[in-house]
Amino acid sequence: MKKLLAAIFLFGTASAYAQTSPHEKLVQYVKPIIGTQRMGHTYPGATVPFGMVQLSPETDTASYELNGKYNPDVYKYCAGYQYDDKTIVGFSHTHFSGTGHSDLGDFLIMPTVGALKLNPGTADKPGSGYRSAFSHANEVSEANYYKVKLDESNILAEMTTSARVGFHQYTFPKTEQAHIVLDLMAGIYNYPDKTVWTYVKILNDSTLVGYRQTNGWARTRTLYFAMAFNKKFDHYGFKKYEKRQVYGGFWGKFNQTKDFPEIAGKQIRAWFDFKTQENEKIKIKFALSPVSMDGALANMQAEVPGWDFEKVKADGQALWETALEKITVGGSVDRKQDFYTAMYHTMINPTVYMDVDGQYKGIDQNIHKADGFTNYTTFSLWDTYRALHPLFNIIEPQRNADMVKSMLAHYDQSPEHMLPVWSNSGNENWCMSGYHSVSVLADAVVKGNAPFDANKALDAAVTTARHRSYEGIGEYIDKGFIPDEKTGVSVSNTLEYAYDDWAIAQMAKKLNRMDIYNEFIKRSENYKNVYDPSVGFMRPKLANGSFRAKFDPLSTINEGFIEGNSWNYTLFAPQDPEGLIKLMGGDKRFVRYLDSLFTMELPDKYFAETEDITRDGIIGNYVHGNEPSHHVAYLYNWTDKPWKTQERIRMILNRMYKPTPDGLGGNDDTGQMSAWYIFSTLGFYPVAPASNDYAIGSPAINNAVIQVGGGKTFTITVKNQSEKNVYIQKMLLNGQPLNGLTITHQQIMAGGELVFLMSSKHK
């Protein structure tokens, strides 16, 4: 190793190193505001890595319905915040990062002064409710810290978090009428009756507990809380907004209009009154638990026993610093902001989903205890199996193993006996297609990051993949494809199942379960069954084996695909690029196909069909803002024009990622878009997770050092890299030429150095 390090210096990387001195804090480069404008669906608030609490401002809490009809605006507010908005409704404790569907937004808190207003009011009239105007000039958004001045009240709002506790600090003016509003009706993707039940109980003069049960994207989600103030409230109260009051036993016995210590119902807001001196800080600790109110109290006590806001902020930022330092890169401030914000965005979801004592509510709605692992939820697996989990296998292997354990626990508890598809707080959203958790399991097993029962994992994968009643699997098994009659996404499902089956086969091979290997390696070739050579596209096939007549390979609507058209999905056989190229007529035709994809002009009418992305999210007909083509630019590597991969990757990096609020061309999708960015910036990418191979792209930094565990580092040195010098002339791995266009997981994890020699001309 010493010899190797010497070699690095001989290659002249010292100057690059100067840019990432060990004393430089990487957390400074995290700009949570990136992606908050338009389609990124990220949020600017505070969280620690993989934290259960994501404490962030809502600029609106749009209802799914408006006047009885679908409200198209609700989509904008998947993360609760849109950069262009002028008002803040309040600060809530749970958010998805970068999703295209949503939920959460639990427990919205807003400080106000003056007459008590319990309604949020409207954005055009912020004074009409507790909502306040704000300005980005008075806003600071950092990793685990958010600050904003509320114009209406002149309150300075600050927030930070631990894993399970949101810590608010509100600096008030002098007033006899200071209020904290706790809106238990607010929520993201809110339905009129999304809140099924709410309970609040005052424990003492400064502490309360409660819970809220919602029927949203998560069908049955109950989140418990404990809320503590650093100051006794003078008075408090609740207001119920539902029309019906079942029975009235309480009402005759007590005056419940004020200072009555409990309430339960469907639509509730709470308020707390204070008197404040000028610049007096009212601090609030707000702990969550998926298990119980006692659990929330215990979480608060364990994580934030005191009232030192700066310490909690610093502790959380230190966690981020440690997480970010897994990869140090050189480069411009802009590039570092892109890179470390991408790193940041890869480490928000999945989220820790258990109390400090390990208890959590399972998919079976029973309380379980995570035995020897951290339990996670928020698995957006259709997105994240591609690059996010492979990234974790390099820089967060233990977390990834714990995520696998969480998936296996989910499997054990699943009424359908299936691995998760889209796991959401002890619920299954069944969002998107495939059974891609098998890819995450297989990737971990194949890469040797499997401190779990790998054979059990294989059995879970096989059982899931054989679940005949799940979205066409029965037909897929019987016929080798899903008939168009069965489902509107028959082609993309067939393709995705075939990839997942290949992943299962790789895991089986590693575990020497050859019967399973044989079954699934055969299934993995099913992608060929939906290819129509007469048109050169994957195409819906009828049960009788003939292709469907109606077919438009540019359309994403009713063409047999999900979040992609046939043009893009036809390239979806990441497990077998060689076979695909052969199927599609060989190298020359394949390169022409790829070139067309990137360069054709997509007519407006098709753009309108494309979900979840801005116009900027599309290059030609290549859709980067959705995931199915994330591997596509790397496919040139299997042709005689790998330099085109290098060119395209750099183009995508430049066009799709910017260190600005509108810097993400599509939903970040719980970190998958950001994970693509990190891999591609480093110069390699997992085209087929569950393989040990990464495809070489074109590194966009001058140097990087990856902490690969056990104190070892893998250094990437890129010589002559520039915006024009995007082509690889030569690669040296530990001083030896690296031929071919792949590097293996083992080569990286062994530590060492990979040197790229770049040029403005391709080979």
Task: State which of residues 21, 67, 255, 544 lies at the interface with a copy of itself (CB under 8 A).
Answer: 255
Amino acid at 707: Q
8-state DSSP, 236: E
What number of chain residues touch a copy of itself (CB under 8 A)?
47
Task: State which of residues 15, 135, 279, 366 lies at the interface with a copy of itself (CB under 8 A).
Answer: 366
Nearer to a copy of itself, 471 or 668 (CB): 471
Contact 561, 489 (CB under 8 A): yes
CA dihedral sign, ordered 586, 592, 595, 596? negative
Q: Is 217 in the site for a copy of itself (CB under 8 A)?
A: yes
Nearer to a copy of itself, 183 or 428 (CB): 428
Tokens 């091979």 -> residue: 509
CA dihedral sign, ordered 38, 44, 47, 48? positive
Q: Is 367 in the site for a copy of itself (CB under 8 A)?
A: yes
CB atoms within 10 A of CB 9: 10
Q: Is 543 in the site for a copy of itself (CB under 8 A)?
A: no
CB of 37 to a copy of itself, least distance (A): 27
Task: State which of residues 133, 264, 314, 651 lies at the interface with a copy of itself (CB under 8 A).
Answer: 264
SS3 562: coil
Q: Is 679 in the site for a copy of itself (CB under 8 A)?
A: no
CA distance 600 to 563: 19
Task: State which of residues 21, 67, 137, 247 lies at the interface with a copy of itself (CB under 8 A).
Answer: 247
CA distance 39 to 81: 11
Nearer to a copy of itself, 264 or 651 (CB): 264
Nearer to a copy of itself, 2 or 244 (CB): 244
Q: Is 219 in the site for a copy of itself (CB under 8 A)?
A: yes
All residues at 6 or more sequence positions from 94 whose CB lies less than 8 Å from its CB, including other chains: 53, 54, 104, 105, 106, 107, 223, 288
Parallel, antiparallel or unpaired: strands 618-619 and 622-623: antiparallel
Q: Is 191 in the site for a copy of itself (CB under 8 A)?
A: yes
Nearer to a copy of itself, 235 or 522 (CB): 235
* Stretch near a copy of itself under the rule CB under 8 A, chosen from 178-186, 239-247, 374-382, 573-581: 239-247
Nearer to a copy of itself, 35 or 187 (CB): 187
Q: Is 261 in the site for a copy of itself (CB under 8 A)?
A: yes
Q: Give the containing element (helix H, strand E) for 155.
A: strand 155-161
Residue 737: burial class (beta carbons within 10 Å; 0-12, 13-18, 19+): exposed
* Stretch near a copy of itself under the rule CB under 8 A, chosen from 138-146, 427-435, 475-483, 502-510: 427-435
Nearer to a copy of itself, 96 or 167 (CB): 96
CA 625 from chain center: how many Å?
A: 14
CB atoms within 10 A of CB 309: 20
Residue 257: burial class (beta carbons within 10 Å; 0-12, 13-18, 19+): exposed
Contact 587, 640 (CB under 8 A): yes
Nearer to a copy of itself, 147 or 467 (CB): 467
CA distance 262 to 209: 10
Q: Is 430 in the site for a copy of itself (CB under 8 A)?
A: yes
Nearer to a copy of itself, 122 or 558 (CB): 558
CA dihedral sign, ordered 465, 469, 471, 473? positive
Q: Is 412 in the site for a copy of itself (CB under 8 A)?
A: no
Q: Is 252 in the site for a copy of itself (CB under 8 A)?
A: yes
8-state DSSP, 145: E
CA 674 from chain center: how many Å?
A: 9
Contact 677, 625 (CB under 8 A): no
CB of 249 to a copy of itself, least distance (A): 4
* Stretch near a copy of itself under the rule CB under 8 A, chosen from 114-122, 361-369, 572-580, 639-647: 361-369
The CB-side HSE value for 622 (13 A sphere, CA atoms) comes to 24
CA dihedral sign, ordered 183, 186, 187, 188? negative
Site string for a copy of itself, 483-502 (x = CB under 8 A): ----x---------------
Task: State which of residues 244, 601, 604, 710 lies at the interface with a copy of itself (CB under 8 A).
Answer: 244
Contact 679, 686 (CB under 8 A): yes
CA distance 493 to 434: 6
* Stretch near a copy of itself under the rule CB under 8 A, chosen from 254-262, 348-356, 475-483, 526-534: 254-262
Q: Give the containing element (helix H, strand E) for 610.
A: none
* Stretch near a copy of itself under the rule CB under 8 A, chosen from 72-80, 179-187, 216-224, 718-726: 216-224
* Stretch near a copy of itself under the rule CB under 8 A, chosen from 75-83, 90-98, 360-368, 584-592: 360-368
Q: Pick left, alpha or beta for residue 55 (phi over 0 → left; psi -120 to 50 → alpha; otherwise beta).
A: beta
Nearer to a copy of itself, 24 or 205 (CB): 205
Q: Is 478 in the site for a copy of itself (CB under 8 A)?
A: no
- The closest alpha carbon to 602, from 613, 588, 591, 586, belongs to 613
Nearer to a copy of itself, 561 or 593 (CB): 561
Task: State which of residues 36, 141, 153, 292 lies at the interface with a copy of itself (CB under 8 A).
Answer: 292
Q: Is 67 in the site for a copy of itself (CB under 8 A)?
A: no
CB of 737 to a copy of itself, least distance (A): 49
CB of 220 to a copy of itself, least distance (A): 5
Nearer to a copy of itself, 210 or 330 (CB): 210
Tokens 């089956």 -> residue: 501
Q: Where does this chain bind a copy of itself (CB under 8 A)?
A: 191, 193-194, 196-197, 199, 201-202, 211, 213, 215-217, 219-220, 244, 246-247, 249-250, 252-255, 260-262, 264, 292-294, 364-367, 415-416, 421-422, 428-431, 469-471, 487
